[in-house]
């Protein structure tokens, strides 16, 4: 898989910006479009000049650059470094144990929530009866 899937983008990508740095490869992605958002005076021109000068380090897009945080770092959708492709592959390859974990953890959380509610109801009843 050379690109991450649409399903991955919908589930994992949470933000869009006029520019963002991929913190997995330090490449800057930017919206090469003045109408894409609120650029500061001269900001888009500077980004375009940088892209002209260092095409490997700056990447212009038709619209916003889409990204999310993974391992505490900005991960940019479609970055040539392939961080999104790698993440999708890792998650998909680990889907069985991730699913097992999610089911087990959700069950524990639901049981804990039920216990908390049972105690809260008992406390509310005791307060009512004490009046």
**Binding residue (CB under 5 A) for Zn ion from 79, 84, 87, 88:** 79
| Number of other CB atoms surrounding residue 72 within 10 Å | 6
Closest CA to 66 of 22, 26, 13: 13
Candidates 23-31, 43-51, 98-106, 118-126: pick the segment binding Zn ion (CB under 5 A).
Answer: 23-31
> According to the binding rule CB under 5 A, does residue 25 interact with Zn ion?
yes
> According to the binding rule CB under 5 A, does residue 67 interact with Zn ion?
no
> According to the binding rule CB under 5 A, does residue 29 interact with Zn ion?
yes
Contact 4, 84 (CB under 8 A): yes
> According to the binding rule CB under 5 A, does residue 12 interact with Zn ion?
no
């Amino acid at each position: 898989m050379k690109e991450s899937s649409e399903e991955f983008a919908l589930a994992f990508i949470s933000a869009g910006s006029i520019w963002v740095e991929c913190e997995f490869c330090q490449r800057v992605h930017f919206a090469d479009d003045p109408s894409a958002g609120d650029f500061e005076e001269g900001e888009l021109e500077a980004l375009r000049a940088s892209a002209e000068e260092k095409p490997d380090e700056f990447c212009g897009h038709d619209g916003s650059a889409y990204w999310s945080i993974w391992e505490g770092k900005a991960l940019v959708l479609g970055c040539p470094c392939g961080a999104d492709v790698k993440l999708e592959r890792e998650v998909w390859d680990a889907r069985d144990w991730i699913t097992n974990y999610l089911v087990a953890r959700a069950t524990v959380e639901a049981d804990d929530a039920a216990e908390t509610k049972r105690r809260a109801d008992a406390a509310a009843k005791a307060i009512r009866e004490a009046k």
